[in-house]
A and B are shown apart, each in its own frame.
Chain A
Amino acid sequence: MSEHHSTYVPSTGIERWLDARLPIVRLMHDSAVSYPVPRNLNYFWTFGGILMFVLIAQIVTGIVLVMHYTPHTSMAFDSIEGIMRDVNWGWLMRYMHANGASMFFVAVYIHIARGLYYGSYKAPREVLWILGVIIFLVMMATAFMGYVLPWGQMSFWGATVITNLFSAFPVIGEPIVTWLWGGYSVDNPTLNRFFSLHYLLPFVLLGIVVLHVWALHHVGQNNPTGVEVKDYAKDTVPFTPFATVKDLYAMVCFMIFFAWFVFYQPNFLGHADNYIPADPLKTPAHIVPEWYFLPFYGILRAIPDKLGGVLAMFASIGVLAFLPWLDTSKVKSGAYRPIFKICFWVLIIVTILLGYTGSQPTDKPVLTLGDRTVLDMVGFAQILTVIYFAYFLVALPLLGLFEKTKPVPASIADSVLGAK
């Protein structure tokens, strides 16, 4: 977008005075008013704005909750119940914050899937994409630590299972876990440091989001055709009012969805066991992470070897960072790639099924022949894990070589108005 020049004209004396000293109004104007967006963006492009809204909502409700929360193993659980019963509007703040985490992941998964389908990770958007992968990882760490704070059964055992993942590494594994815990088990020191980091990481997230948006505004948005902007006058419209209004409309729709959970099903996405105070001597019979971690948990459990499982789980997210170089196709948008389109939907279905396997007991039969179990949850998850990785490591590199793509429009304007 190097051709895009600032169109800001300070109209009053004060604006001219400020513009010569700190051109902040110019920055806002250029990035949120006159910034050119492709004219063919669909509603999948509104999730960036929605995510920004959810992040701010999480920070605001989080700051309020901290005013009433006590980070100590003997008081954490009770202070949460105090927020629910005694604090004015505490129930609303907590339900918004807890469901807000789920909404954050709903929006981010749609946002990531959008990028996967329309090839938004391809040149020149590699850095933009990798920053996105880092945001996703920091989000996961933040959500995990936040879930530990109420100090319920799932909090405690979730923390135990996840920190124990690091014990899989030979030699350094055990010391790392002791260091993470600050003790011989998950206990008060662990709760305190998780609380500290849970407060810090959202601001780190905000910093990386600024870089993410900066990179976005430098290279410009991708669009459903995957064709780059060629003529600003024909291919783009100004951010305000076009994108602003569309983003706001989508945001309001998303807020209705969010509000439905907060007001009608506030505990649907949570786990009943977390309303039992943490007990280090008793593991819940069926321990599962929050829904947004389930596909990765499914991969972890699919591998019978401990270290192998941990590595596969990290690899399933890490592989995303290499996408720009794994996808060899010259055509960016999945709309013009018939075979890619099938592979993409297979990936989506496989990821959802992996989440399902992660939510079920390991020895539950999937396929039975008479009395004999032919396939149990672990076996099923193994098949799905192979397909998941095959998408990234086999399908994407090879499709670029063999796939016969459909003709791509000459320009964004052509795709909207029809070629002349």
Chain B
Amino acid sequence: MADHSSSETNRRDFLFLATGAAGAVAGASAVWPLINQMWPDASTIAAGAPVEVDLAPIGEGKAITLKWRGKPIFVRHRTKAEIESAKADDSKITIDPEPDSKRVKSFNGKLQEPWIIVYGNCTHLGCVPTGFSGDYNGWYCPCHGSHYDNAGRIRKGPAPKNLFIPDYAFLSASKVKIG
């Protein structure tokens, strides 16, 4: 392009840079929709709206699995003994330390200790752990051998985190809203 030996900056250099910069911006803008379309679409987001769950039919020592946003959610009604053993282990949690009181939510200022509500996907690679099993009688993930206790806290195995707790709130003592 520049066949003149002048090393001074001139108008052509400016035009060259400005065109290049405009081209880069235009290119990036054109690519953006191609990247952005991969995020969850409106129908997926709408289908993931909050749900209400009636806790009354779940007896003490029982658990249910429900499906929300394509994922399993465990709702477990713990017995007194289970709550006590989970609380007693508060100081023994080493992988992702969290006291039992942080694993439950309150209603009207009162901790709803019997109710453990967690995502049913192992925090390792997403398999669904089996309930009432493993070394701590919580959940055991058959894929890579993670053991969770009855509060969903990781006790042994490759999973790095406790079972995740979805956003939820008690609407009454026997009803929760998830999401």
Residues of A participating in the B interface, judged by any CB pair closer than 8 Å = 157, 160-161, 163-165, 167, 178-187, 189, 193, 280-283, 285-287, 301, 303-307, 309, 361-363, 378
Contact = CB atoms under 8 A, between A and B. Distances in A.
A304 B146 CA distance: 10
B72 A183 contact: no
Contacts of B23: none
A287 B158 contact: no
B70 A164 contact: no
A276 to B, nearest CB: 14
A281 B128 contact: yes
Contacts of A287: 127, 142-143
Interface size class for chain B?
20 to 34
Given A287-B142, A301-B158, 9 more contacts: A157-B143, A164-B124, A185-B70, A186-B70, A280-B70, A281-B67, A281-B120, A306-B159, A362-B144
5 contacts: A167-B126, A179-B38, A283-B127, A287-B142, A304-B158
B144 to A, nearest CB: 6
A237 B13 CA distance: 55
Contact of A306 (B72, B142, B160): B160
Point out which of A178, A182, A183, A378 has the most chain B C-beta atoms below 10 A from its C-beta.
Answer: A183
B114 interface: no
Point out which of B67, B71, B121, B158 has the most chain A C-beta atoms below 10 A from its C-beta.
Answer: B158
B41 interface: yes
Point out which of B67, B120, B125, B160 has the most chain A C-beta atoms below 10 A from its C-beta.
Answer: B125
Given A160-B127, A306-B160, A283 B41 contact: no
B61 interface: no
Nearest to A282: B128
A303 B71 CA distance: 27
A128 to B, nearest CB: 31
A165 to B, nearest CB: 7
Contacts of B126: 160-161, 163-164, 167
A117 B125 CA distance: 35
Contacts of A303: 158
A179 B39 contact: yes
B112 interface: no
B69 to A, nearest CB: 4
Interface in B36-62: 38-41, 44, 48
B127 A161 contact: yes
B48 A184 contact: yes
Contacts of B65: 281
